[in-house]
Amino acid sequence: MTLAEGTDEPRHDLVRECPPDDSPPLPFTYSHALGVLGGWPDGAPFDGRCFVSAWPELRQARTVRAGRAPGTVVRCGLMDTMLADIPVSVVFVYASAPDEDRMADGLARALAQLPVFAGRLRETPDSLEIVCDDSGVPMMSYELDGTLAATIGRLALPGSDYVDHVPAPATRAGELPLLTVRITRLSDGGMVMGCSWHHAVGDMQTFMLLMRTWSACVEGTPLPDTYVIQDMDTFLEDRLPTEDSGRPGFRLPSPEDAVEVNRELENAVRANRIVQAYFSDDEVSRIRAEITAAARQRLSTNDVLCGHLVSTIRRLDDDPEGRWLAIPINIRRYLGLNIRTNRAFLESVGRSRLRECIPIGFDPAQRTFTTTNWTRFGVYDVVFDGEAPTFFSPATNLALPWVSWLAEGFHNAGYLFMVALPAKLASRLRSTEGRAALHAYRDPDEELPELVLSIKKMV
């Protein structure tokens, strides 16, 4: 996005649109076989013949820019550099599609507040840097013949065409974006917004700061406070306690372990499946009450859900062995946990080998379960044109085994649990036996949300 000449207003240029009436007719292929509609889902008429396809049809492409490049250079910390080959992807689903031009304008203003998302990576001999050069964020718009329920069900498929995943390793060359936005307008009037960002830019909290800023720019509400940390290691050095747990959260695999890890990565799409499960607030309250009473101590919702989910899956897997459970946390609340130890470990490995390190939570050979909790980040507060999300979900292009996520459920009620498991175990979890075990605390007379009932594979 650029600034229109002589104004302070952002501008975006249409790259592809539906053909006017006097253009040659589109070829009638299988992808067009679902017929002709009379207008866009928001009621606006087509300018000419346009088809909504069973496959995503590109309608519009733009690069959104703030319109000014601050030139700030952010030096990535050791942990940022170690995670620099990892993208993070999520999806927001809206029952009614907001105006995309206003969304693009709002994103341009948000990028002015958080310019790292519009920058590019740069490698130097001793560090990885983000140059805030306002190279921009690609915002792609598609049309698809589909419904909200079908869309949400497809999110369990890796590479489900709703997100343009950032190719994290390739971004080191400095030419590729650190954030992508993909909008898919559905034939039932809904909209799916897939976002993918580079982990070196920030974690979920950093991303949600951008989303809150973007929403505020569109809605005209007060902007959250934002600032850019130019040297994370220096920033942390002044704030970390002198001692922490002493246990690093990363490991350097042996050559034999590395071969096994690579095998898991290569076979992940073929060998594993993602299962979606929904738990209502009442169901979770019953789980918490019973488990807390049995434990005779106060337990959080995260405690009891993780315990119930992991133990249930272990029983279905006929796995009696003791296993580790890894829970990534928001380090801002626990600076004394192990950050200093992590940095010391990575320094001992050396920058040249940081890409070989992996989190201790990823250990498929030992079936180490990793659960990332994305509740309470305010994902349902990301409002555009007065419309809050109907559904939010992580999105992945690689189903790594024993990796799971927890987020708020439909309309910010209940909980969504997503887990990648070996295919046979995933099928068992979806079976009648698996559903009964997973929802042993659900009232059989409870009325579930309509969308839950309409998604066939939702457990």
Residues contacting 147, CB < 8 A, separation 6+: 186, 187, 188, 190
Compute φ and ψ for 91, nearest 5 degrees: -135, 135
What number of other Cβ atoms are within 10 A of residue 444's Cβ? 5
Residue 337: the pLDDT is 72
- Give the residue from 184, 211, 237 where a domain finishes: 237
Q: How far is CA 226 from CA 71, 115, 210, 213, in A?
A: 17, 10, 9, 9
Residue 3: the pLDDT is 32
Is residue 192 located within the same domain as residue 90? yes
Is residue 67 located within the same domain as residue 196? yes
Domain assignment present for 392: no
Domain that includes residue 145, residue range: 2-237
Contact 443, 283 (CB under 8 A): yes
Q: Within 76-119, where are the H helices? A: 78-82, 100-113
Is residue 138 located within the same domain as residue 277? no
Strands 391-394 and 415-422: unpaired
Domain assignment present for 195: yes
Domain assignment present for 19: yes
- Give the residue from 237, 264, 283 where a domain finishes: 237
Contact 194, 182 (CB under 8 A): yes
Residue 188: the pLDDT is 95
Is residue 306 located within the same domain as residue 205? no
Query: Among residues 407, 431, 411, 410, which one has the least CA distance to residue 419?
Result: 407
Residue 427 amino acid letter: S
Query: Among residues 53, 9, 4, 45, which one has the least CA distance to residue 27?
Result: 53
Determine the Cα–Cα distance for residues 448 and 55; give it in Å rounded to an integer. Answer: 30
Is residue 214 located within the same domain as residue 260? no
Contact 163, 182 (CB under 8 A): yes
Domain assignment present for 189: yes
Residue 456: the pLDDT is 86
- Give the residue from 237, 271, 297 where a domain finishes: 237
What is the CATH classification number for the domain harbouring 26? 3.30.559.10
Is residue 123 located within the same domain as residue 223? yes
Determine the Cα–Cα distance for residues 216 and 204; give it in Å rounded to an integer. Answer: 18
Residue 6: the pLDDT is 33
Domain count along the chain:
2
Is residue 231 located within the same domain as residue 262? no
Is residue 225 located within the same domain as residue 263? no
pLDDT values of the chain reduced to their tens digit, one per residue, 459 residues: 333 333 333 433 333 333 333 333 333 222 222 222 223 333 333 333 333 456 889 999 999 999 999 999 999 988 888 888 889 999 999 999 999 999 999 999 999 999 999 999 999 888 899 999 999 999 999 999 999 999 999 888 877 789 999 999 999 889 999 999 999 999 999 999 999 999 999 999 999 999 999 999 999 999 999 989 999 888 888 888 888 888 888 999 999 999 988 999 899 989 999 999 999 999 999 999 999 999 999 999 999 999 999 999 999 999 999 899 888 876 656 556 788 888 899 999 998 898 899 988 899 989 999 999 999 999 999 999 999 999 999 998 889 999 999 999 999 999 999 999 999 999 999 999 999 999 999 999 999 999 999 998 899
Is residue 169 located within the same domain as residue 316? no
Number of H helices, E strands in the chain: 12, 18
Query: Among residues 64, 134, 46, which one has the least CA distance to residue 105?
Result: 64
Domain assignment present for 380: no
Exposure string over 85-116, b if 16+ CB within 10 A, otherwise e:
bebbbbbbbbbebbebeebbbbbbbbbbbbbb
Domain assignment present for 388: no
Is residue 305 located within the same domain as residue 422? yes
Determine the Cα–Cα distance for residues 29 and 51; give it in Å rounded to an integer. Answer: 11
Is residue 273 located within the same domain as residue 368? yes
Domain assignment present for 7: yes
Compute φ and ψ for 75, nearest 5 degrees: -85, 115
Return the ∠ at Cα 234 (arms to 348 and 119), rounded to 5°: 100
Domain assignment present for 342: no
Is residue 135 located within the same domain as residue 278? no
**Secondary structure class of 276 (helix, strand, coil):** strand
Residue 437: the pLDDT is 97
Contact 404, 309 (CB under 8 A): yes
Contact 309, 317 (CB under 8 A): no
Query: Among residues 173, 177, 83, 72, which one has the least CA distance to residue 135?
Result: 177
Residues contacting 382, CB < 8 A, separation 6+: 92, 211, 212, 214, 215, 388, 389
Residue 100: the pLDDT is 96
